[in-house]
């Protein structure tokens, strides 16, 4: 992220207590539908093209665990409960 100015934020893959995926990125799709990617995928199960293990671009990441460059953080003011709106 340090050397690539095109990256605005980096998120983590988060798990539920039962080890299924809670968050693995957020997708913004056709007709304005937004959803968590791979949510509920059981631990040890592989998704299409092993997407659960791949580094990839997504529309947004959850505010529960993200890292953003200081300039981006200040620009969009990720304060309070406007995380998703700010990223999109």
Q: Are 25 and 65 in contact (CB under 8 A)?
A: no
Per-residue b/e over 58-73, b at no fewer than 16 CB within 10 Å?
eebbbbeebebbeeeb
pLDDT under 70 in the chain at which residues?
A: 1-3, 30, 76-88
Within the chain, what is the greatest distance between any pair of CA atoms?
A: 38
In the chain, where the domains are located: 9-87
């Amino acid at each position: 992220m340090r050397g690539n100015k095109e990256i605005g934020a980096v998120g983590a893959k988060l798990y539920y207590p039962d080890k299924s995926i809670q968050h693995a990125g957020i997708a913004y799709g056709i007709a304005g539908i937004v959803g968590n990617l791979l949510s509920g995928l059981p631990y040890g199960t592989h998704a299409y093209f092993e997407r659960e293990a791949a580094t990839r671009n997504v529309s947004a990441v959850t505010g529960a665990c993200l890292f953003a460059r200081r300039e981006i953080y200040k620009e969009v003011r990720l304060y309070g409960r406007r995380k998703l709106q700010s990223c999109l």
